[in-house]
Amino acid sequence: MTQTMDPTPVSPREPDDADDPQTRMQRWLADFEAGVAARDIDRVVSGFVIDSFWRDLVAFTWNLKTVEGRQEIADMLSDRLDDTDPSGFVTSEPATADGDVVTGFIEFETAIGRGKGLLRLRRDDDGQDRAWTLLTSLRELKGFEEPQRTRRVRGAVHGQSGDTRSWSERRDDEERDLGYQTQPYALIVGGGQGGIALGARLRQLDVPSIVIDTHARPGDQWRQRYKSLCLHDPVWYDHLPYLPFPENWPVFAPKDKIGDWLEFYTRVMEVPYWSSTRCISAAFDDAEGVWTVEVDRDGERVTLRPTQLILATGMSGKPNVPAFPGADVFRGDQHHSSEHPGPDAYVGKKAVVVGSNNSAHDICKALYENGVDVTMVQRSSTHIVKSDSLMELGLGDLYSERAVASGMTTEKADLTFASLPYRIMHEFQIPVYDAIRERDKDFYARLQAAGFDHDWGDDGSGLFMKYLRRGSGYYIDVGAAELVADGSIKLAHGNVDHLTEDAVVLGDGTVLPADAVVYATGYGSMNGWAADLIGQDVADKVGKVWGLGSDTTKDPGPWEGEQRNMWKPTQQENLWFHGGNLHQSRHYSLYLALQIKARYEGLPTPVYGLQEVHHLS
């Protein structure tokens, strides 16, 4: 899910025909670099419009940080310009124009690395081009580049070598020693797509790391979900680092294919991965700056001493399992949606699914299609968008076969999306969902007639902003909503009051007979895992994970400017959070890996704008 409209306001005034977009972009970059080189912050800041945004991903701030307006930009540069020492700002391809706004991909260097970004210029009231949005992102560290292209390792030994071991023998020896004779610098707890992607990045950066997971095989997190589960995001959005999905991969991958791909990926990318491993406890030694982590590795107790601890347990965090009165007397089966086995055991029976978001719809659809009498209990309003409409209107410009044919690469798409500041993102989502509302008005009329409580988000900005702000409250329709609309999936409203031996009773007294109850009741903050593993004091020190501080439903203010605590330093030294969908796991794993690599190599990493804690989990 992503914003794909070009977020460019159209002005009635057109640029001078003789002043093409590339010239305008080069002129601004040259003036910007001259101001930076002279350390003339006033000159640099004067090149930004009043309502400007600079989003930096590690390159300047060693953080994920958006500064808004001239004063915040000046403050950041005053603190970071000398150390960063940026130079060499150029366009990586010709700039383009839409109305009065010029957009261009850029490249640059800093004292310590090389970066890429995206710049949007807007013609100001005085006729001058000034920066409206600027994205800067660190892509590699000088002297510690990944072994790609001309820097590939040879693999074969040409000539004499004192080491007669084969590639596989060296790998076996490394795996045998890591965690025992040699301690990992980074320990990644959670071996789903996020942990595996980060493990692959750190492997390429030569950072000793281990990914641990409780499941028996990589990919089991997907294989063990209900059998009808498929990705709701299309393949172009979901590539992992280094290895994109093949060109014949399904648009919406079934969960077992994803599971097999993650296992294959782990082996091919040589990610050090401990399966059947449970994290028991973790404690940080402030004096030594090292964690002590106790794990159970398939029955063996192992003590690990990593410097960096990354919780890659998924942005959804811990399952919210309600404790309704009467749950202990209910004679049927009851479980959270994360443990739903599929419909086979319930054929010919009655099921009640508590919840009305993605998992609830998927589970209800599979139950109905396998002969189960199923009722969905809607406790609050839900936003629904049809998959085809989202693909065409919401994703098509960046993540689609059409985008690929037009020259859009995954890297360019990711940079384009990352370049849009969160503060104004909803403004460009609203027209997308207005168009979807009109396109599918008959569909929404049927849902309303069926009594489904539908919403478009607090400000009409739809699905993706709900995802960023709260991580819940939506469903991408692949057929279940039509079954709700026509009554095939029964609909009830209200909160659960209690359970009896054979029914769910709602607050208004409605009795729903049930042989099975599925709690599609969502998840808590990721720092719930930190509380369990390290302690509530550390979880409170870190604060809430995920959300923007938009002051909308389930995303309380104040404004944060970035995702809370994700992929960046936290208030707990050497503790990181990594998660999100496949797109975010791919894109942000790079910045997290570079932050860890820099620390591993002893490079200075002064963090600008460390996030404050405003909310506990």
Q: What is the reported pLDDT for 317?
A: 62
Beta carbons of 400 and 379 less than 8 angstroms apart: no
Same domain, 337 and 460: yes
Q: Is residue 16 pLDDT above 70, yes or no?
A: no
Helix (H) / strand (E) containing 494: none
Q: Is residue 327 part of a domain?
A: no
pLDDT at 9 over 50: no
pLDDT of residue 3: 39
Same domain, 461 and 541: no
> pLDDT-based confidence at 390, cuts 50/70/90?
very high
Closest CA to 611 of 61, 23, 199: 61
Average pLDDT of the chain, as a whole number: 94
Does residue 276 form part of some domain? yes
Please state the separation of Cα 143 from the chain's center in Å. 29
Q: Give me the mean pLDDT over the 8-19 stretch.
A: 48
Same-domain pairing of 354 and 408: yes
Distance CA 66, CA 76 (A): 10
Q: Mapped to the 3 state alphabet, what secondary structure does 329-353 carry?
A: CCCCEEEEHHHCCCCHHHCCCEEEE
CA gap 361, 363 in Å, rounded: 5
Average pLDDT over residues 366-394: 96
pLDDT band of 316, cuts 50, 70, 90: low
Q: What is the mean pLDDT of residues 150-173?
A: 83
Tell whether 175 is covered by a domain: yes
Position 10 pLDDT exceeds 70? no
CATH code where residue 78 lies: 3.10.450.50
Q: What total number of domains does the chain contain?
A: 3
Q: Which of 44-53, 64-73, 144-153, 585-594 has the lowest mean pLDDT?
A: 144-153
**Is the per-residue pLDDT at 165 higher than 70?**
yes
The arithmetic mean of pLDDT across residues 556-578, rounded, is: 97
- How large is the average pLDDT for residues 2-17? 43
Mean pLDDT computed over 66-88: 98
Evaluate whether residue 468 is within a structural domain.
yes
pLDDT at 1: 41
What is the pLDDT at residue 270?
A: 97
The residue ranking higher by pLDDT, 155 or 614, is 614
Q: What is the pLDDT of residue 154?
A: 80
Residues 301 and 369 in one domain: no
**Location of structure tokens 């200075």:** 604
Instruction: Please state the rounded mean pLDDT for residues 77-91.
Output: 98
Q: What is the CATH number of the domain that holds 294?
A: 3.50.50.60
Query: Residue 567 domain-assigned?
Result: no
Q: What is the pLDDT of residues 272-305, one digit of tens each?
A: 999 999 999 999 999 999 999 999 999 999 999 9
pLDDT value at position 315? 66
359 and 507 share one domain = yes
pLDDT at residue 240 greater than cutoff 90: yes
Q: Is residue 73 part of a domain?
A: yes
**pLDDT classification of 19: cutoffs 50, 70, 90:** confident
Report the pLDDT value the prediction gives residue 228, as an integer from 0 to 100.
82
Percent of the chain whose predicted confidence (pLDDT) is above 90: 88
Distance separating alpha carbons of residues 323 and 116, to the nearest angstrom: 49
Q: Supply the DSSP symbol for 90.
A: E
Residue 11 within any structural domain of the chain: no
SS3 category, 320:
coil
Please indicate, yes or no, whether residues 192 and 309 belong to a single structural domain of this protein. Answer: yes
Task: Kindly state whether residues 310 and 426 are assigned to the same domain.
Answer: no
Same domain, 201 and 236: yes
Query: Rounded to an integer, what distance in angstroms lies between the CA atom of residue 360 and that of residue 18?
Result: 57
Which is nearest to 134 in space by CA: 207, 83, 60?
Answer: 60
Higher pLDDT among residues 231 and 226, named by residue: 231
User: What pLDDT, on the 0 to 100 scale, is given for residue 5?
Assistant: 38
Lowest mean pLDDT among 6-10, 46-50, 106-110: 6-10
Average pLDDT of span 431-435 = 97
- Give percent of the chain with pLDDT exceeding 70: 96
pLDDT tens-digit map of 126-136: 999 999 999 99
Question: In this model, does residue 141 exceed pLDDT 80?
Answer: yes
Higher per-residue confidence, 548 vs 225? 548
pLDDT at position 118 over 90: yes
The answer to whether the CB of 323 falls within 8 A of the CB of 499 is no
pLDDT higher than threshold 50 for residue 485: yes
In a shared domain, residues 302 and 413? no
Span 600-604, average pLDDT: 98
What pLDDT band is residue 158 in, cutting at 50, 70 and 90?
low
Q: Would you say residue 185 has pLDDT above 90?
A: yes
Do 371 and 442 lie in one domain? The reply is yes
Residues 307 and 241 in one domain: yes
Whether 29 contacts 89, CB under 8 Å: yes
Specify whether 294 is located in the same domain as 340: no
pLDDT at residue number 156:
73
pLDDT at 157 over 80: no
578 Cα distance to chain centroid: 8
Residue 100 has pLDDT above 50, yes or no: yes
- Give the residue numbers spanning the domain of 67: 21-141
Q: Is 194's pLDDT higher than 50?
A: yes
